[in-house]
Amino acid sequence: MFHEVLIADGWAVGYNEVPVDGVDAGGVAGADLLIVLGGPCGAYEGAAYPWLVPEIEAIRARVAAGEPTLGICLGAQLIAAALGARVYAGGAGHEIGWGPVLLTGPARAGPLAVLDGVPVMHWHGDTFDLPDGATLLASTQAYRNQAFGVGSHVLGLQFHAEVGGSGIEHWLIGQAGAVDLCAMREGARVHGAAAGRAGAAMLRVWLSRATAGA
């Protein structure tokens, strides 16, 4: 859904599929905006997925340069790792389904305010420590660190604010027996439209602040 928002707002969008394409460090450094998306591996699995190591290094350099960077799920974990925080398997197990996040005080004065009370999609089993210098923005009962910000240019989201009511079947392919497919579909039907509107509004507010000095 974020793709459609960015296109509508005049952004030229390109994709770098790191496991296949490798890490384009120059592209990461030179992009006006970097969105690091999710995946099934862990940020700590560099031995099994060696492309994670240069990806984290490229993210570290970009964040240090103050460039707008958004991470979603694994992307947020990779940003946390790039900032020196520990990423690890969560003790509460997998958090999968639709539910609201609990916003902190700073979040209520920022882009995430539009998510207050809006169920969003969760799909993760890993978590991370809050990086030094980062501000905690959201939590759930299962996992404290659900969103964080660094200044106005970095935002990490453990949950999937980019997911709206459409496209849920792409998430469910191959997941029979792993998740409650009916519950996920019903959650998308009931909450997807509101989640999509709130996610789009959050992205636009964050972008306006993250790129204000560009």
For residue 60, the model assigns a pLDDT of: 97
Q: Look up the pTM and report it.
A: 0.96
* Average pLDDT value for the chain: 95
pLDDT tens-digit map of 129-154:
999 999 999 999 999 999 999 999 99
Give the residue from 155, 150, 152 showing the smallest Cα distance to 209: 152
**Domain positions in the chain:** 2-210
User: Residue 121 class from Cβ within 10 Å (0-12 exposed, 13-18 middle, 19+ buried)?
Assistant: buried
Looking at the chain, the whole-number percentage of residues with pLDDT higher than 90 is: 91
Burial 136-173 (b: 16+ CB within 10 A, else e): bbbbbebbebbbbbbebbbbbbbbbbbbbbeebeebee
Looking at the chain, the whole-number percentage of residues with pLDDT higher than 70 is: 99
Average pLDDT for 13-31: 91
Q: How far apart are alpha carbons 126 and 113 in whole angstroms?
A: 25
Q: At what angle do helices 52-64 and 74-82 cross, to 10 degrees?
A: 70
CA 187 to chain centre: 19
For residue 126, the model assigns a pLDDT of: 98
Give the DSSP H or E segment for 134.
none
Tokens 């207050």 identify what position? 116
Other CB atoms within 10 A of residue 91 CB = 8
- What is the topology classification, in CATH, of domain 2-210? Rossmann fold (3.40.50)
Average pLDDT for 148-163: 97
For residue 91, the model assigns a pLDDT of: 95
pLDDT tens-digit map of 91-101:
999 999 999 99
pLDDT tens-digit map of 174-198:
887 789 999 999 999 999 999 999 9
